Chains A and B, each alone.
Chain A
């Protein structure tokens, strides 16, 4: 590709650096997703654990995320929802961000960034903390 389609306006060296970062991130995520697809987090000993849960015994907002993605990939969205409803909000966001990055870096598209007003971001943090608290009440936890 030539520099005429450089969307970020930065130098070609930086563009290639961003492309390599983008590809490495994609490969890493794909490899881990494949590992997760073939290994049930409940029965596999070598799975990332939550340090917060390990130390305190409480659930954090991300706890159950891997189990949820595992069940989602096997088509069982009800179980996935029970393990972690929060990732359902997160996955479209990750998908959008990554597709936008690939289209800009490799295909020279120019996509307008969505400007999030601070109130939405603070709202997200509030929701995050609220979820953190309510999921630790007895009867509302994942197991």
Chain B
């Protein structure tokens, strides 16, 4: 979870912040008392679906699977795992996006080349 004082990332079971040393709120105790703690760990599901369809399906699928794992970890209350999967998910989205861009550039060159060679025939 993130420190409310300095914003540094800590493990879900840390009692004090690793960076500034301030006491962190006890999430599990809060939940036991019926207060739900808002977690805002992005799962990049939309981006993952978008890059799957528009850029690169083979790299889009791990991105979608990691999005599912982020939500699974949030459901279990394992925020550290959610955070980890969220980062991997973001990474796969970028890999798929980058592959899509490279393939598109390659395609434009290929098509220009095909057009030019067909003109010279």
Contacts and interface: CB of A to CB of B under 8 A. Distances in A.
A93 B53 CA distance: 13
B68 A62 contact: no
A5 interface: no
Given A45-B111, A62-B53, A124 B71 contact: no
A21 to B, nearest CB: 11
Given A62-B57, A94-B50, A124 B72 contact: no
A45 B103 CA distance: 16
B45 interface: yes
Interface residues of B, number: 26
- How many A residues touch the partner, as a band? 20 to 34
Contact of A116 (B45, B53, B54): B45
B53 A90 contact: yes
Contacts, number: 55
Interface of A: 45-46, 48-49, 51-52, 60-62, 65, 87, 90, 93-94, 97, 115-118, 121-122, 124-125, 128
29 contacts: A45-B111, A46-B108, A46-B111, A49-B107, A51-B107, A52-B57, A52-B58, A62-B53, A62-B57, A94-B46, A94-B50, A115-B71, A115-B74, A116-B71, A117-B71, A117-B75, A118-B75, A121-B45, A121-B64, A121-B65, A121-B67, A121-B68, A121-B71, A122-B68, A124-B64, A125-B64, A125-B65, A128-B52, A128-B61
